[in-house]
Amino acid sequence: IKLVAPPLYVMITQSLDKALGIEALEKAITTIEDSIKKANGSMSVKMKPRAVSETDDLELAQLMARVERENAEISGDEEEEDEEEED
């Protein structure tokens, strides 16, 4: 499970058998959903498990890199926080 940006996560697995790989992810999603519901939370699946190609993997990697850059701390943020704490 990889964090893209809170609260968006991506689940990835590798399998020689496409059907077994998809089934494993579906079981994992069900288990996670049950656990979240027990804690009075909610979740939504944006895309059902599916087999992907190398192109899809590359697009995911690019998306994750872009989100990471967008969420990266901008230089100077830390100093502003320190100044606010001193006031």
pLDDT tens digit sequence for 25-82: 999 999 999 999 999 999 999 889 988 877 877 887 888 888 888 887 665 555 555 5
Q: Where are the domains of the chain?
A: 2-86
Is the distance from CB of 2 to CB of 63 less than 8 angstroms? no
- Whole-model pTM? 0.60
The whole-number pLDDT of residue 24 equals: 94
- Neighbouring CB atoms inside 10 A of 23's CB total 13
Overall residue count recorded for the chain in this entry: 87
Q: Which amino acid is at 81?
A: E
DSSP state of 74: P
Rounded distance between C-alpha atoms, residue 1 and residue 16, angstroms: 19
